[in-house]
Amino acid sequence: MATVPSRRERVRAQTIAEIKERALAQVSAGGTAALSLNAIAKAMGVSGPALYRYYASRDELLGALVADGYRELAGAVAGAAEPTGRRGPEARLVAVAAAYRAWALAHPHRYTMLFGPRPAGYADSPAAIAEIQPGMEVLLGLLGEIAGASADGPPPRDRLARQLRAWHEDRAGGAGVPVAVLRLGVLTWTRLHGIVGLELAGALGDMGLDAGLLVEAEMRAIADAARGG
């Protein structure tokens, strides 16, 4: 049987939700640089020290917002990757990319908060990274399915290969993903992010290009590359 939260716990949860709501409004209006605990406290009619009982610093609040965003984005990606019907891994890769883009377009300020400039000295916490890593694992899994045996050759030993292996071992505990798939995974994300970033900036619209078509074409090209084409 689920434990019923106490009144104090409910009040705390409501307060945290309001803090985050007001913080996201600040981010939407002026980016992460506009985030201010004192301004939030004033808007809520409480003292600054009272708010610091919930978040000890601006960076801690930003970290909570980033973790929430990562979790939602990873959830959208994972949902799109579900093997429904007869969809093969390439079709699911295209669907994952479309879901990623759709989330970014629905939450442009939050997307920029996740992958745009951060305040000096800020770094994602391990807890925040743990929220987004499942999304990358979904991507790597699909690329591994598409690549099949073509990814089983001798692993490259260049500097990038070493960096990719170290990155994935740090994030996923050393799960055995071929370096070729890791390389494709990072390239896929950077290309997808590049298209989405240009779309949010209005650059692709100025060119008369459909970002959705570009995303699909890029995913199909990556799938061909994964198969060794």
Cβ burial 88-126 (10 Å sphere, 16+ → b, else e)? ebbebbbbbbbbbbebbeebebbbbbbbeebeeeeebee
Domains in the chain, number? 2
Residue 23 tokens, joined: 């913080």
pLDDT in tens, 34-84: 999 999 999 999 988 888 999 999 999 999 999 999 999 999 999 999 988
Whole-structure pTM value: 0.91
The CATH number that applies at residue 6 is 1.10.10
77 and 35 belong to one structural domain: no
Q: What is the DSSP letter of 53?
A: T
Q: Measure the CA–CA gap between 112 and 217, rounded to whole angstroms.
A: 24
Longest dimension (CA), the chain: 62
Q: Check pLDDT > 90 for residue 7.
A: no
Q: The domain containing residue 111 runs over which residues?
A: 67-226
